[in-house]
């Protein structure tokens, strides 16, 4: 038996990172690592970092500064600490991390997590730090132990990574450099993991990938539509979602799946970034605003209750007031239920970072404010439109107040209602009685519709 040790993982960024953190904990479990709640109690601390926007690197260094003190105090007490930096900052700035923070023991990129046990063994032996941020030829998916570790507490909703990396090379984005080229997991291993998750209690699975709808793995016809159809055949799996998609990969079969698969939830996160064709070209998005609107129209024809979510960037180099206005116009046409919006931030090594005509910070602030005002009003309108509807709610746990339970609507909003805790784990009909900024209140219906 390995000596019992404690592991503390700090995760920033996207759901892929959350999933990766769980898998890193999985690969370290055979070495005797169990979770620690605080870095002070941990024999190993992993910072799983995100590089997508600004200040990421500085955040990592400031956290490392704090951990350095903890590591020194533990060392004095005769308890060594292994400090690892993982994720996209590690991939992008590995050498810089070791130069500025030589007390870091391991730097590893997202493609090398399966080698973590070997790196830990090396780090405990050697004084010199271990750095591993290459893109190995073999896929990390082939080496990770199978686990249902990405299930959330209670296990009802789970994340399952099916694809990683990106070949799109949007002008502003670091992902193709940090996560590498697109790689898809074979259908058989995805289906096996999904079945295990369902056996462990999962009722909803969200498929993850940087470019999830570019999944072209072995089996299931090599398309996401085929994979979703296969997953929909798993008894007990009542809800499916996938994120994040690129408009270019929204093929006809995938749109048709939204009509034919009741398990596929009527909510889609489909980033558009801008509503200006000039900006979309500058961003190398390889689609126009009209093409995006056309996809949304076809999706809504397939699934009339489909709610849309998106990502937007304001202030990409060269963006004029007219370009920005075109983005507002696209938003007015689509009517989003939810969205994420960002000020453009220069990421070193990406094409846009060196482009002329960078937009002034104050102007970016103003545009972001206007964009978010519009998106907020659309989100409020969407939530208000749910009032009076009878919706299926997957009850995921107890609510905030005694006697309450909480769940999730098909469109991802949290729903709070007063009902017996025995309903946890079930999908129940709920009449929505009030809308709030980010959630809904409902009443449990024994009958199947609002009075
Ligand atoms: N600046 C601002 N936002 C960015 N995103 C990605 N890179 C940048 C950047 N350099 C946003 C995009 C993407 C989301 C995950 O993050 O909108 O869809
Ligand atoms: Fe980045 Fe564009 Fe790939 Fe999305 S599609 S991960 S924004 S390069």
Tell whether 397 is covered by a domain: yes
Tell me the CATH number at 419: 2.40.50
Tell whether 450 is covered by a domain: no
Ligand 1 pocket check: which of 50, 173, 270, 343 to mutate, most ligand atoms within 8 Å of Cβ? 173
The boundaries of the domain holding residue 440 are 390-444
Domain count, the chain: 3
Among the atoms of ligand 2, which is closest to the Cα of residue 285? Answer: 2
Distance 274 CA to ligand 1 centre (A): 11
Residue 447 burial (CB < 10 Å; 0-12/13-18/19+)?
exposed
Tell me the CATH number at 97: 3.40.50.12160
Distance 113 CA to ligand 1 centre (A): 24
Ligand 2 pocket check: which of 170, 248, 282 to mutate, most ligand atoms within 8 Å of Cβ? 170
Regarding whether 242 and 105 lie in a shared domain, the answer is: no
pTM of the model: 0.81
Regarding whether 440 and 406 lie in a shared domain, the answer is: yes
Ligand 2 pocket check for 111: Cβ under 6 Å:
no
Question: What ranges in 272-316 are assigned the alpha helix state H?
Answer: 277-282, 289-302
Regarding whether 298 and 210 lie in a shared domain, the answer is: yes
Ligand 2 pocket check for 168: Cβ under 6 Å:
yes
The tens-digit pLDDT sequence of the chain (451 residues) is: 556 789 999 999 888 888 889 888 888 887 788 899 899 999 999 999 988 876 778 889 999 999 999 999 998 998 889 999 999 888 888 888 988 998 998 888 887 787 787 778 777 765 555 666 555 545 555 555 444 334 444 579 888 989 988 999 999 998 888 888 899 999 999 999 999 999 999 999 999 998 999 999 999 999 999 999 999 999 999 999 999 999 999 999 999 999 999 999 999 999 999 999 999 999 999 999 999 999 999 999 999 999 999 999 999 999 999 999 999 999 999 999 999 898 998 888 889 998 889 999 999 999 999 999 999 999 999 999 999 999 999 999 998 888 999 999 999 999 999 999 999 999 999 999 999 988 999 999 876 677 6
Asked if 436 contacts 413 with a C-beta cutoff of 8 angstroms, the reply is no
Regarding whether 211 and 303 lie in a shared domain, the answer is: yes
Ligand 1 pocket check: which of 172, 179, 245 to mutate, most ligand atoms within 8 Å of Cβ? 172
Antiparallel, parallel or unpaired: β 204-208 and 157-161: parallel
Distance 168 CA to ligand 2 centre (A): 6
Regarding whether 251 and 153 lie in a shared domain, the answer is: yes
Tell me the CATH number at 212: 3.80.30.20
Regarding whether 280 and 152 lie in a shared domain, the answer is: yes
Tell whether 50 is covered by a domain: yes
Tell whether 40 is covered by a domain: yes
Ligand 2 pocket check for 169: Cβ under 6 Å:
yes
Tell whether 449 is covered by a domain: no
Asked if 218 contacts 171 with a C-beta cutoff of 8 angstroms, the reply is no
Query: Nearest Cα to 264, choosing from 295, 223, 292, 227?
Result: 227
Regarding whether 269 and 323 lie in a shared domain, the answer is: yes
Regarding whether 170 and 256 lie in a shared domain, the answer is: yes
What is the model's pLDDT at position 58?
87
Regarding whether 411 and 351 lie in a shared domain, the answer is: no
Regarding whether 397 and 361 lie in a shared domain, the answer is: no
């Amino acid at each position: 038996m390995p000596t019992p040790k404690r592991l503390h993982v700090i995760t920033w960024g996207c759901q892929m990172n959350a999933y990766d953190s769980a898998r890193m904990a999985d690969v370290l479990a055979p070495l005797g690592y169990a979770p620690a709640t605080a870095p002070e109690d941990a024999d190993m601390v992993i910072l799983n970092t995100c590089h997508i926007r600004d200040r990421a690197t500085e955040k990592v260094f400031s956290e490392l500064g704090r951990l350095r003190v903890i590591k020194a105090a533990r060392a004095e007490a005769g308890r060594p600490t292994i400090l690892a930096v993982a994720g996209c900052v590690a991939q992008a700035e590995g050498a810089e991390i070791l130069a500025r923070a030589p007390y870091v023991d391991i730097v590893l990129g997202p493609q090398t997590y399966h080698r973590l046990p070997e790196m830990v063994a090396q780090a405990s032996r050697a004084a010199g730090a271990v750095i591993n941020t290459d893109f190995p030829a073999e896929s990390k998916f082939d080496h990770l132990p199978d686990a249902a570790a990405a299930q959330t507490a209670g296990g009802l909703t789970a994340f399952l990574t099916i694809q990683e990396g990106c070949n799109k090379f949007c002008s502003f984005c670091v992902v193709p450099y940090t996560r590498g080229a697109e790689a898809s997991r074979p259908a058989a291993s995805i289906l096996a993991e999904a079945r295990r998750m369902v056996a462990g209690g999962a009722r909803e699975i969200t498929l993850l990938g940087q470019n999830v709808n570019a999944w072209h793995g072995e089996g299931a016809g090599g398309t996401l539509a085929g994979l979703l159809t296969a997953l929909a055949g798993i008894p007990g799996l009542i809800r499916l979602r996938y994120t994040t998609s690129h408009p270019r990969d929204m093929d006809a079969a995938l749109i048709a799946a939204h009509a034919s698969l009741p398990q596929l939830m009527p909510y889609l996160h489909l980033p558009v970034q801008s509503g200006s064709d000039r900006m979309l070209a500058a961003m190398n998005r390889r689609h126009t605003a009209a093409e995006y609107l056309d996809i949304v129209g076809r999706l809504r024809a397939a699934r009339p209750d489909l709610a849309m979510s998106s990502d937007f960037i304001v202030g990409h180099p060269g963006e004029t007031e007219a370009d920005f206005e075109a983005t507002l116009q696209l938003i007015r046409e689509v009517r989003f239920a939810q969205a994420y919006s960002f000020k453009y931030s220069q990421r070193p090594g990406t094409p846009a970072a060196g482009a002329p005509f960078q937009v002034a910070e104050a102007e970016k602030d103003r545009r972001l404010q206007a964009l978010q005002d519009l998106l907020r009003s659309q989100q409020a309108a969407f939530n208000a439109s749910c009032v009076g509807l009878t919706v299926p709610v997957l009850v995921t746990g107890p609510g905030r107040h005694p006697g309450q339970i909480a769940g999730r609507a098909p469109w991802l909003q949290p729903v709070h209602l007063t009902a017996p805790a025995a309903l946890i784990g079930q999908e129940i009909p709920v009449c929505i009685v009030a809308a709030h900024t980010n959630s809904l209140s409902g009443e449990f219906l024994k009958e199947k519709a609002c009075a």
